């Protein structure tokens, strides 16, 4: 399909990754091109697959998801990163916004 949205999932919980992958793959205009368990693997997989969207957990061990988002967008400027979180902390929101727009214009 020409207008298919390619999606890379990054979450350290395998069950959540699996459920999200199944739900998204059922959509006729979406295709999950990868599912990884940490931010470093997300950077590597995004470099290989060039997804339209990276759906990334905001809190995973290892490389910061915000650093991963910067690296992914430096390599693939058209990729959009969507952060998933069960947290409601201002610091996470600020970091997420800053990682998407380091110039500070929102």
Confidence label for 86 from pLDDT (cuts 50, 70 and 90): confident
Q: What is the mean pLDDT of residues 77-98?
A: 74
What pLDDT shows up at residue 28?
A: 95
What pLDDT shows up at residue 101?
A: 57
Sign of CA dihedral 33, 85, 103, 61: negative
Instruction: Please give the full DSSP string across the chain, using - where no structure is assigned.
Output: -TTPEEEEEE-S-HHHHHHHHHHHHTSTTEEEEEEESSHHHHHHHHHHH--SEEEEES--SSS-HHHHHHHHHHH-TT-EEEEE-S---HHHHHHHHHHH-TT---
Domain ranges of the chain: 5-100
Q: What is the mean pLDDT of residues 74-96?
A: 77
Pick the CATH number of 5-100 from 3.30.70.100, 3.40.50.2300, 3.90.1300.10, 3.30.420.40: 3.40.50.2300
């Amino acid at each position: 399909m020409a207008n298919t949205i390619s999606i890379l999932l990054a979450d350290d919980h395998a069950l959540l990754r699996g459920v999200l992958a199944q739900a998204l793959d059922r959509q006729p205009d979406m295709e999950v091109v990868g599912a990884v368990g940490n931010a470093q693997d997300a950077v590597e997989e995004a470099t290989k697959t060039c997804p339209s969207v990276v759906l990334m957990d905001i809190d995973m061990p290892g490389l910061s998801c915000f650093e991963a988002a910067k690296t992914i967008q430096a390599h693939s400027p058209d990729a959009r990163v969507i952060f998933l979180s069960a947290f409601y902390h201002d610091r996470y929101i600020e970091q997420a916004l800053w990682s998407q727009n380091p110039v500070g214009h929102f």
